Amino acid sequence: MKHLLALFLAISLCSYGQQDDQKIKEIFDTAMTQSSSYDWLNHLSNQIGGRLSGSVQAEEAVQYTYKELKKLDIDRAYLEPVMVPKWVRGTPEFAYVETSPGNTFNVPICALGGSISTPALGLKAPIVEVIGIEGLEKVGRANIEGKIVFFNEPMDQTYVQTLQAYGKAGKQRVNGAAEAAKYGAVGVIVRSLSTRLDDYPHTGSLHYSQDPSVPRIPAAAISTNGAELLSKTLELNPNLKFFFKQSCRTMADVQSYNVVAEIKGSEFPDEIIVVGGHLDSWDLGDGSHDDGAGCVQSMGVIELFNKIGYQPKRTIRAVMFMNEENGLRGGTQYAENAKKNKENHIFGLESDLGGFTPRGFTFGASDKQFAKIETWKPLFEPYLVNTFFRGGGGADIGPLKNVDSSVVLSGLRPDPQRYFDHHHAANDTFEHVNKRELHLGLGAMASLIYLVDQYGF
């Protein structure tokens, strides 16, 4: 009976016409043959490179995307000012394992974003392996005090949705330094959040404790191969010492911007639909998947509507958010301005899980809103983008929910198998983005925006 009810509900809610099939085919065909997204990404990745908040490259990316968006047929483009943190990596990090005095081998590490530096001559201490934050309690203060904590919980390969594995093992990276410090640790080494065994350390932000009694200790990621080697070596020799040296630091905040392009709605100009990605990235790779892809796809939605001559009923904004990686200042500022200006956002769509083949979308929506969205699924079936499920939209658009809880937030869900091979690492580079996959994602995003624009909620 449940199935029958769902079926009747679907039929009664069905809210699209036959012309939509055609329009969505036109959108996908245009995405696959005429989009500039891949070329924009080439420029962002290969001419500009990694775009850490507050860096010269981030500023270049603001100017480049602003210039490109102004070439499109839009009603306005503008830069939305936001102050962002500036953390710099400094000289390349260096680490070794010392199994006996003078007997050492090097392992690849990188500082975690926001970490403090080690002493100028580096930090050498015994190291103790811990699995997950909860492992600290098991190992106990007596075995941690004065040592470096080596968090070595791997990402669980059995999760088909790798994001879930990331969420689970990721606590080590985000909270490991703050928690280990409470047990008297002097530094933290975290196994890279990667689904692969290789030599790339993966950076990413950490959160120090806000409690001034908890010391801030330096923290770095070690490559997965390095983690395996360190773990095996510790088994043989629990008394080995670990040395690392990093000179990263946090400087004064810097003026930066969200980049916004807008097409005014012809019928409901006060109803705003936002589509975005984040323009900042980490500094090790060129940020092609995270999140150059989401930016050029969002720009591509505007360009695509231009190319097919589509005049939206509602106001559409493409937003390149600044500082998702280590502060979320851009997304926060955008929502604050929306509140201040009494803007009515009805829908937000973010692409921030890589430029891979799109599989579907997540939706943060009420039951009624989601039921309506589900009636659109058949339109996405020919493009194999028909996995719709409940979930968050994306970090940058998240703060909009606090302004108006009725806004529907959606996230593009690309195929998740390869994302964490590249995420936050030196191999997040342009050659790992496939043009067809990127442009299929654009087609899916533009189609969803089109349907929301046509039918609202």
The answer to whether residue 37 forms part of the interface with its own copies (CB under 8 A) is no
Which residue from 168, 182, 196, 377 is in contact with its own copies, where contact means CB under 8 A? 196
Residue from 173, 191, 245, 418 in contact with its own copies (CB under 8 A): 418
Options 19, 103, 158, 405; binder of its own copies; rule CB under 8 A: 158
Among 160, 239, 309, 405, binds its own copies (CB under 8 A): 160
Using rule CB under 8 A, residue 249 touches its own copies: no
Question: What binding mask, one character per residue, do residues 266-285 give for its own copies by CB under 8 A, x or -?
Answer: --------------------
The least CB distance from residue 74 to its own copies, in Å, is: 26
With contacts defined by CB under 8 A, name the span among 250-258, 337-345, 346-354, 415-423 that binds its own copies: 415-423
Q: H helices of 263-320, where? A: 293-307
Enumerate the β-bridge partners of residue 244: 95, 123
User: Which residue in 70, 49, 69, 71 sits closest to 60, CA to CA?
Assistant: 49
Report residue 42 as tokens.
């080439």
Interface with its own copies, residue 383, by CB under 8 A: yes
Q: What are 278's strand-pairing partners?
A: 321
Closest CA to 51 of 258, 356, 288, 299: 288
Q: Which amino acid is at 295?
A: C
Q: CA–CA separation, 312 vs 266, rounded Å?
A: 6
Q: Are 49 and 282 in contact (CB under 8 A)?
A: no
- Does 33 engage in binding with its own copies (CB under 8 A)? yes
| 431 lies in the binding site for its own copies (CB under 8 A) | no
CB of residue 33 to its own copies, shortest distance in Å: 5
Give strand ranges (E) for 45-174: 76-88, 94-100, 103-106, 109-111, 123-130, 148-151
CB 200 → its own copies: shortest distance, Å? 14
Does the annotation mark 324 as catalytic?
Answer: yes
The correct pick among 2, 5, 11, 101 for binding its own copies (CB under 8 A) is: 11
Question: Which stretch, 221-229, 284-292, 365-373, 412-420, contacts its own copies (CB under 8 A)?
Answer: 412-420
Nearer to its own copies, 3 or 342 (CB): 3
Residue 195 lies near its own copies (rule: CB under 8 A):
yes
236 part of the interface to its own copies, by CB under 8 A: no
**Which of 93, 153, 324, 350 is labelled catalytic?**
324
Cβ closest to its own copies, residue 28 vs residue 200 = 28
CA distance 219 to 209: 13
Residue 5 binding its own copies, by CB under 8 A: no
Q: Is 14 in the site for its own copies (CB under 8 A)?
A: no
Whether the Cβ atoms of residue 317 and residue 273 lie closer than 8 Å to each other: yes
Decide: is 340 part of the binding site for its own copies (CB under 8 A).
Answer: no
Specify whether the CB–CB gap between 245 and 93 falls below 8 A: yes
Q: How far is the CB of 32 from its own copies (least distance, A)?
A: 5
On whether the CB atoms of residues 155 and 198 are closer than 8 A, the answer is no
The residue whose two tokens read 């050492």 is: 104
Pick the closest to residue 350 from 417, 298, 406, 289 (CA basis): 298
Length of the chain equals 457
CA neighbours within 13 Å on the CB side: how many for 74?
Answer: 24
Nearest approach in angstroms of CB 160 to its own copies is 5
- Does the protein bind its own copies through residue 384 (CB under 8 A)? yes
C-alpha to C-alpha distance for 370 and 377, rounded to whole angstroms? 11
Pick one of 205, 437, 449, 451: the residue that binds its own copies (CB under 8 A): 437
Q: Is 308 in the site for its own copies (CB under 8 A)?
A: no
Residue 239 binds its own copies (CB under 8 A): no
Nearest distance from residue 44's CB to its own copies, in Å? 20
Instruction: Tell me the CA distances in angstroms from 421 to 195, 220, 406, 434, one per residue in order.
Output: 6, 18, 36, 15
Amino acid letter, residue 433: V
Helix (H, G, I), strand (E, B) or coil at 336: helix
Provide the β-strand partners of residue 273.
316, 347
- Catalytic positions: 324
Site residues (vs its own copies, CB under 8 A): 3-4, 7, 11, 28-29, 32-33, 157-158, 160, 162, 195-196, 357, 359, 382-384, 387, 415, 417-418, 421, 434-437, 440
